[in-house]
Copies of this chain bind each other. A is one copy, B any other.
Amino acid sequence: QGTRDHPPAQAALRDRLLSAVVACFKRHGAAAIDTPVLELRDTLIGKYGEGTKLIYELQDQGGELLALRYDLTVPFARYLAMNKITNMKRYHVGKVYRRDNPATTRGRYREFYQCDFDIAGQFDPMIPDAECLKIVHEILSDLQLGDFLIKVNHRQILNGVFAVCGVPESKFISACSTVDKLDKVPWEEVRSEMVGEKGLSPEAADRIGDYVQLHGGLDLIERLLQDPKLSQNKLAKEGLGDMKLLFEYLTLFGITGKISFDLSLARGLDYYTGVIFEAVLLQQEKEHGEEAVSVGSVAGGGRYDGLVGMFDPKGRKVPCVGVSIGIERIFSILEQRLEASEEKIRTTETQVLVASAQKKLLEERLKLISELWDAGIKAEMLYKKNPKLLNQLQYCEDTGIPLVAIVGEQELKDGVVKLRIVATREEVSVRRESLVEEIRIRTSQC
């Protein structure tokens, strides 16, 4: 339950999607790394706040206590610390595991892929952060998922807001997780949780409410920099300074049209320390019979300058910023679209079927297909001694093979092969020594 097989059509769609994401990561100069699915239990415990209880633990069958990784960020931080790496731009595509209640229609599973890009190292402020946002923008544009918005905030601005509203520092993280619910429930509910469960004064909650319901662009940053209270707070001032610089860079990248500085964005995980962001798809129009489904956030990330230090014996910090693409949610949208469009996705890449019209030509088919394979041509044949031509042509129709190479008695005598173009039913006679080249030319256009 909450895990699934991917049959060929899904696997092919997923491959396309992952290729597009990885192409973007490579475009930005990232190297791949791979870490084990199994981590030491102690590496994972205490890094995910509420999430910790969703970690899959392995049976104690002797040896170390192991668990399945919950995300790719903590293993990356562990990897950097273990190998004393202070500077790296990497991507990682891999499966992660959560003992969550699966909501499979919304693309939430217990076993799912994550696609992460992270930049580790001490650099001039906001340049890597801006690149992460550029990457989200590129990927969501490339995949043509429809309109989207990238919400951006800064943990220090949030902490500054809490401070000037009279929240004691010990309650910052707890207040943060309450604010995080603002994208799902109205302010009234968030307020009552703050006052009820979290024990803030009604006045503090109201003051917080005035701030966290704000969103805008560079104008809002400027306004808050002039705010009589926030401008006196060191945390908020630093955060707003970062945010201003970030927006300058995003302007140079030409992507501010899809970016919103949104003070209600808090992000659940404890380890963020600076810029945080989350991309959401905007409600789609119902058109072409396509059903609009809210799939929530499709990418998220932020800066986590303290995590690597937690794994270093001397606590040496390596500043990091990264982004995780919500591939499963994107996949469920694309899958739904594919179903609606009735477009058939090819699950194989076979260029040519080696066939025969007459009986007793299995040997000749085997010889020809072997030549084609050795020349790098993607070729198939039916595993029958004497298949009917009709069945062979039908197989091409069913699986989308564009060409058929037909061997027959006469062709063998003449040293040729009949090449049939499935789509047009055209047949041409090709000299055997030119066949490979002819197949290459005819399939390079598809």
Contact = CB atoms under 8 A, between A and B. Distances in A.
Contacts of A95: 37
A32 interface: yes
Interface of A: 1, 3-8, 10-12, 14-15, 26-38, 56-61, 63-64, 79, 82-83, 89-90, 95, 97, 99, 110-111, 119, 121, 123-124, 127-128, 130, 134, 138, 249, 252-254, 347-350, 362-363, 366-367, 370, 373-374, 376-380, 383-385, 399
Given A15-B32, A252-B363, 15 more contacts: A5-B36, A11-B31, A28-B378, A28-B379, A38-B97, A56-B58, A89-B380, A121-B383, A123-B383, A124-B383, A127-B366, A134-B370, A138-B373, A252-B366, A253-B366
B32 A8 contact: yes
Q: Which 6 A-B pairs have the closest CB atoms?
A: A123-B383, A8-B31, A3-B36, A29-B380, A6-B34, A31-B347
9 contacts: A5-B36, A8-B90, A11-B34, A15-B32, A32-B347, A61-B99, A121-B383, A123-B383, A130-B366
Nearest to A386: B124
Which of A34, A378, A383, A385 counts the most chain B CB atoms within 10 A? A383
Contact of A124 (B26, B374, B385): B385
Contact of A348 (B31, B36, B252): B31
A59 B61 contact: no
Given A27-B377, A363-B252, A383-B128, A5 B59 contact: no
A399 B10 CA distance: 36
Which of A7, A253, A254 counts the most chain B CB atoms within 10 A? A7
Contacts of A34: 5-6, 10-11, 14
Contacts of A127: 362, 366, 383-384
Contacts of A4: 36
A4 B385 CA distance: 47
A379 B36 contact: no
Which of A34, A59, A97, A367 counts the most chain B CB atoms within 10 A? A34
Contacts of A15: 32
B63 A1 contact: yes
A90 B399 CA distance: 13
